[in-house]
Amino acid sequence: MIRTIIVAAVLLLCSLTGSAQSAPALQLKTIDGHAFNLSDYKGKIMLLNFWATWCPPCRQEIPELIKYQREYRRSGLQVVGVTYPPESLSRVRRFARRTRMNYPIALGTKETKLLFASTETLPITVIIDAQGNLSDVIEGIIYRDEFDEKVKPLLSATRVPEAQRDRTSQNRSQKVQTRTIIVNTEGYQPSAIRLRRGVPARLTFIRRAAEGCGTEVVIPAYKINRPLPLNTPVLVEITPNRSGRFKFTCGMNMFRGAIVVR
């Protein structure tokens, strides 16, 4: 089967001029009734696969697309299927359930496909890089050697280091850190707060002193300056990324505290 690259002349011109061609804006509905917006996937490497349930090569290709999505999801790959008419919603849903398609499926039109290619061939796979630019378009089934040649280098360029990914995953799994700080005429308790770096924190400040003590809470490191009414809890939410100070005015004195981030 002959392979062609979509809009070859345009892509050649882009390569000569050093500019990249942005993918067209695309807004569709998925078979689950959700909105699909192509721009929402910026930052991922996308395989936009145009297919139909009545297309034998499309049906042959889908198991491989499922494998690509499963194997390279953590590396930033996102496969999206876009149907080509004539199709019925119920038929597409049944097919997706039967084949266990593990990526979003949007309902397309002939005009949708024309945004990317004028050929009548199905399937067609549009490769979009992390910046939202057209990288390549493959007519027919995208085979493993083509995936290795055209998609894998893009995934390698956007891959997050394993150690950093582990830290991010760990931080997301952590519960929100909560601390309560009481302000009175003697100062505040506790005088220092220890927080884990990168884990969202909720700090609750409560003023118990009526004589104008601690009427504001100020955390310069996080650009926070909030009124602190008497006996009214004030919630401050931050994601700790560095140590800093918080302070309260109390007459001519200034009470200072520490936020220690590790």
Q: What is the pLDDT along the chain (262 residues), one digit of tens a residue?
A: 434 333 333 333 333 334 568 888 888 999 988 888 888 888 899 999 999 999 999 999 999 999 999 999 988 999 999 999 999 999 999 999 999 999 999 999 999 999 998 888 999 999 999 999 999 999 999 999 999 999 999 987 765 444 444 444 454 445 788 888 887 766 677 767 788 888 888 888 888 777 656 677 777 777 778 888 888 888 888 888 875 555 554 544 455 667 778 7
pLDDT at 187: 66
Alpha carbons 74 and 162: distance in angstroms, whole number: 10
Alpha carbons 98 and 56: distance in angstroms, whole number: 16
CB 110 within 8 A of CB 85: yes
Q: Which helix (H) or strand (E) holds 194?
A: strand 192-195
Alpha carbons 150 and 63: distance in angstroms, whole number: 19
Query: Which tokens belong to 46?
Result: 């996308």
- Helix, strand, or coil here: 121? coil
CB 259 within 8 A of CB 240: yes
Q: At what angle do helices 89-99 and 56-72 cross, to 10 degrees?
A: 50
Alpha carbons 65 and 60: distance in angstroms, whole number: 10
CB 214 within 8 A of CB 207: yes
Alpha carbons 249 and 47: distance in angstroms, whole number: 57
Reading across the β-sheet that carries 234-238, which strands appear in turn?
A: 187-189, 177-184, 201-207, 234-238
pLDDT at 40: 84
pLDDT at 183: 78
Handedness of CA 18, 21, 22, 23 (dihedral sign): negative
Alpha carbons 146 and 150: distance in angstroms, whole number: 6
Handedness of CA 155, 156, 159, 163 (dihedral sign): positive
CB 88 within 8 A of CB 166: no
Residue 209's Cα: distance from chain center in Å? 45
pLDDT at 122: 94
Which residue type does 256 have? R
Q: Domains of the chain, with CATH numbers?
A: 8-159 (3.40.30.10), 175-261 (2.60.40.420)
